């Protein structure tokens, strides 16, 4: 709880990952991948309840072993490749008997996000009186040095002339959504069915290291290397 506001954290973990099968329970530096998010959420000073939303019995079993509350089994129709995260969040909110003021989505694919990151984000959410707060980090490579290529692979007019000979440190700073933290008011999520509201939405800046998002085997290797280095 933060100044009288009850906060719910939801960790979504379906069983049907395609690019990295069973990734949510793969061993990462000695723990199942999703255990890192469970522990970070449970270590928060402000989160009142941490729940898992999953359709998979094995994932549910592992989550319970790591102390996560699993109040329901997610319906199969909300565990498809095309299912939007926001639908998982709204389902979870409506499935609970208790009411909460604010909700946080913590994707298990961000294992380097810490309890301190979470608490700092929560504090910023309330300090700004935000409707939504989204985790971001600096991009690793400037999009100003990127473009599309057709089959000819021609790079005619690939870059804007003013960036052709620019040094990377002289380019404007860009940020990307890192997938590690989404927070919004429960009433806003239910009404708008998105974290990306039109106003009073802010970014919460996180380090690139804590923003590793696991989609592929390479991402997994990078996260494990960082965790082993920090241990």
**pLDDT for residue 164:** 83
Element containing residue 32 per DSSP (H, E): strand 31-32
- The domain total for the chain is 1
**pLDDT for residue 228:** 85
In a domain, 1, yes or no: no
* Rounded-to-10 torsion of CA 43, 49, 54, 56: 70
Closest CA to 14 of 24, 2, 6, 5: 24
**pLDDT for residue 114:** 98
Closest CA to 50 of 12, 94, 11: 11
Q: What is the CATH number of the domain that holds 114?
A: 3.90.550.10
In a domain, 212, yes or no: yes
Is 13 in contact with 24 (CB distance < 8 Å)?
yes
In a domain, 121, yes or no: yes
Enumerate residue ranges in the chain where pLDDT < 50.
none
**pLDDT for residue 73:** 97
The encoded tokens of residue 138 equal 């600096």
Between CA 149 and CA 133 the distance in angstroms is 34
**pLDDT for residue 163:** 86
> Containing domain of residue 131, as a range?
7-230
**pLDDT for residue 79:** 94
**pLDDT for residue 63:** 98
In a domain, 36, yes or no: yes
In a domain, 101, yes or no: yes
Angle at 173 between CA 168 and CA 177, to 5 degrees: 120
In a domain, 181, yes or no: yes
**pLDDT for residue 231:** 64
In a domain, 13, yes or no: yes
Q: pTM to 2 decimals?
A: 0.94
In a domain, 182, yes or no: yes
């Amino acid at each position: 709880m933060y100044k009288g506001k009850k906060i719910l954290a939801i960790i979504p973990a379906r069983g049907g990952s395609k690019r990295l099968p069973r990734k949510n329970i793969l061993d990462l530096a000695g723990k199942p991948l999703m255990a890192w998010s469970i522990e970070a959420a449970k270590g928060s000073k402000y989160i009142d309840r941490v729940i898992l939303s999953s359709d998979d019995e094995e994932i549910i079993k592992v989550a319970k072993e790591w102390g996560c509350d699993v109040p329901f089994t997610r319906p199969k129709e909300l565990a498809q490749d095309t299912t939007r995260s926001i639908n998982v969040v709204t389902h979870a909110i409506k499935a609970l008997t208790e009411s909460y003021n604010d909700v946080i989505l913590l994707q298990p694919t961000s294992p380097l996000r810490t309890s301190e990151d979470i608490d700092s984000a929560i504090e910023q959410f309330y300090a700004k009186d935000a409707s939504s707060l989204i985790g971001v980090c600096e991009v690793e490579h400037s999009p100003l040095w990127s473009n599309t290529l057709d089959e000819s692979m021609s790079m005619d007019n690939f870059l804007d002339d003013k960036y052709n000979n620019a040094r990377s440190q002289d380019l404007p700073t860009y940020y990307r959504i890192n997938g590690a933290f989404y927070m919004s008011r429960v009433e806003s999520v239910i009404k708008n069915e998105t974290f990306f509201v039109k106003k009073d939405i802010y970014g919460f800046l996180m380090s690139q290291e804590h923003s590793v998002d696991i989609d592929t085997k390479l991402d997994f290797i990078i996260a494990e290397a960082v965790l082993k280095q920090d241990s």
